[in-house]
């Protein structure tokens, strides 16, 4: 992983540029050498960190930053389908081990086969090649980024803005814990976490307990979102055996949301 931190002696512009460039290069190397799904997973994590850097360095999004932000957002979206299918497959296999009746196992195994077929049809090799090409485009765009010269006060202000957005998303999710609201809360918290991680050696006092709490929160919210996507998939099949599966998913989500909320 790239050294994702602004050093105490660095200027914000240099630190942002250096770290963004290192993240892109690390993503390129990961796509080249890691197993396909692991590479895509690490790639998506890198694009989220990069978008957090763009929010830190240019919260108002000048033209150059907007191009980079939209590029990383598009790339993450392209990789998300493969990641989502692989997660559904992993969850189905786990749930399959908790089912006993044949009427429940049949639809579960049917969905597993569908996921395997979908991954084969996606052609992960072609996807990796496309992601690599676009990442090289990102490297060229990063040569002149950031075009402005943010101060440390600007970085603090951007972090404060991210904290405010995360707090608002949390409030909305607690008042109305829909899948959409919980997912939005997770995205906001992950952005705040990435910013804090980048600033941990220069502007933000390191608080290990708080960092672990935020990390655990994003993991729990992520697990809930993955189960929600799986439930949508199960709901579409025509089989009476899907009811116990959906009940099992609902029970898992209920337990997760008790921890989250």
3-state per-residue secondary structure call for 180-228: HHHHHHHHHHHHHHHHHHHHCCCCCCCCHHHHHHHHHHHHHHHHHHHHH
Q: Give the pLDDT band (50/70/90) at residue 208.
A: confident
Dmax of the chain from CA atoms? Answer: 64
Confidence class for position 5, pLDDT limits 50, 70, 90: very high
What does the pLDDT average to over 44-72?
88
pLDDT at 1: 40
pLDDT value at 61 more than 80: no
pLDDT at 253: 96
pLDDT at residue 229, rounded to an integer: 93
CA angle centred on 256, ends 250 and 257, rounded to 5°: 85
Average pLDDT, the chain: 90
Mean pLDDT (whole number) for 116-123: 86
**Would the pLDDT of 2 be above 70?**
no
Q: What is the pLDDT of residues 11-48, one digit of tens each?
A: 999 999 999 999 999 999 999 999 888 888 889 999 99
**pLDDT class for 206, splitting at 50, 70, 90?**
low
What is the residue extent of each domain of the chain? 12-260
- The residue with tokens 């299918």 is 85
| Superfamily name and number for 12-260 | CHAD domain (1.40.20.10)
pLDDT tens by residue, 126-173: 888 999 999 999 999 999 899 888 999 999 999 999 999 999 999 999
Whole-angstrom distance, CA of residue 183 vs CA of residue 226: 10
Return d(Cα 18, Cα 156) in angstroms, integer.
19
Q: Which element (helix H / strand E) includes 75?
A: helix 63-96
Give pLDDT, residue 163. 95
DSSP-assigned states of every residue in 151-164: -HHHHHHHHHHHHH
């Amino acid at each position: 992983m790239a050294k994702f931190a602004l050093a105490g002696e660095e200027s914000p512009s240099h630190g942002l540029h250096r770290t963004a460039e290192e993240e892109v290069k690390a993503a390129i190397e990961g796509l080249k050498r890691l197993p396909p799904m692991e590479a895509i997973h690490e790639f998506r994590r890198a694009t989220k960190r990069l978008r957090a850097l763009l929010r830190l360095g240019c919260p108002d999004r000048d033209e150059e930053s907007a191009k980079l932000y939209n590029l990383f957002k598009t790339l993450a979206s392209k990789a998300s389908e493969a990641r989502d299918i692989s997660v559904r497959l992993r969850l189905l296999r786990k749930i399959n081990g908790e089912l006993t009746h044949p009427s429940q196992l049949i639809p579960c195994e049917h969905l597993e086969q569908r996921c395997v077929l979908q991954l084969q049809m996606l052609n992960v090799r072609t996807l990796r090649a496309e992601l690599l090409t676009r990442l090289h485009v990102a490297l060229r765009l990063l040569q002149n980024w950031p075009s402005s010269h943010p101060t440390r006060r600007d970085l603090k202000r951007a972090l404060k803005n991210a904290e405010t957005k995360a707090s608002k998303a949390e409030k909305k999710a607690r008042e109305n814990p829909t899948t959409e609201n919980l997912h939005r809360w997770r995205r906001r918290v992950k952005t705040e976490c990435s910013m804090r991680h980048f600033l941990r050696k220069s502007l933000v006092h390191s608080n290990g307990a708080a960092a672990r709490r935020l990390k655990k929160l994003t993991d729990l919210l992520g697990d809930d979102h993955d189960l929600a996507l799986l439930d949508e998939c199960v709901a579409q099949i025509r089989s009476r055996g899907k009811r116990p599966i959906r009940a099992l998913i609902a029970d898992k989500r209920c337990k997760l949301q008790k921890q989250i909320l």
